[in-house]
Structure 1
């Protein structure tokens, strides 16, 4: 597996990956309003993570296939971490997450975890900063990671 920066030419593959993972793992946890919000706002907003001035966005590729995607905004906030459903549990998410954390020069990185991913982030050293919240039908748990080495 190779982790490298995304390019504009990766846009369609990234959108396809995010849609596929969201449909199987995230959207079932949302209300109808949340599903509509995600589809109408979150998916179209993916293009912003290709802005290299504000985002460090990476892809995991194996045998020429996109199997994971992650994005770090302004070095302090993980906006996306998606792994192909067939690759989940194989370490791809851990490697992508560690790559993003290593890229940050700050001692604290935060994110909003989907409810189904909280245990994954906890296993990687993140802690919840509040209880589950819901905005426009989208459920999440705010979390943060303190990098003791920085």
Structure 2
């Protein structure tokens, strides 16, 4: 599969929001639950545009012939805030490529992520290690994980 990675711009906010909200069933215990509302509110196009414009975040996107096929966002240079790949493009190395692209542009050697249960095996293949058991916050069940590169 051919795809290109580039830094995200505000014009990517709508497509990124659409991609991630389309995958909500993988990471939200119940997307319609009241406890999920604050998390889901952070997935809107306007919320994405705000983060893309923030110096606290770095966003990169992968594009293929169909359009946006992946997104990665780092918060404060060392926390993987989002790493998502379009459902029909999963298993093709896009998540690994996005992770490596973003990691190599960061000044940090240790990274954290709150991985959804669905994504834990992906993060393990990328070199992350679980630091605690599953937790739940804002309707998201996740495993805190860390990656250290010496």
Task: Indicate the residue corresponding to 1:89 in structure 2.
Answer: 91
Task: Indicate the residue corresponding to 1:42 in structure 2.
Answer: 42
Q: Structure 2: how far apart are the matches of 1:106 and 1:133?
A: 25
Matches within 5 A, 1:1-150: 1-23=3-25, 25-27=26-28, 29-30=29-30, 32-39=33-40, 41-44=41-44, 45-63=47-65, 65-148=67-150
Q: Structure 2: how far apart are the matches of 1:131 and 1:123?
A: 18
Greater CA drift, 85-94 or 62-71? 62-71
The answer to whether the Cα contact below 8 Å between 1:37 and 1:138 also exists between their aligned partners in 2 is: no
1:114 Cα deviation after fit: 0.8
Note the residue ranges of structure 1 that are not aligned, 5 or more in a row: none
Please list every run of at least 4 consecutive aligned residues from structure 1 whose deviation after the TM superposition is greater than 4 angstroms: none
SS in 2 for 1:116: coil
Q: Structure 2: how far apart are the matches of 1:55 and 1:36?
A: 22
Note the residue ranges of structure 2 that are not aligned, 5 or more in a row: none
Q: Structure 2: how far apart are the matches of 1:34 and 1:121?
A: 25
Greater CA drift, 55-64 or 105-114? 55-64
* TM value normalised by structure 1: 0.87
1:37 Cα deviation after fit: 3.9
Q: Structure 2: how far apart are the matches of 1:74 and 1:136?
A: 21
Counting helix residues as a fraction of each chain, which structure ranks higher? Answer: 1
1:10 Cα deviation after fit: 1.0
Q: Structure 2: how far apart are the matches of 1:37 and 1:104?
A: 28
Aligned alpha-carbon RMSD (Å)? 1.8
* TM value normalised by structure 2: 0.87
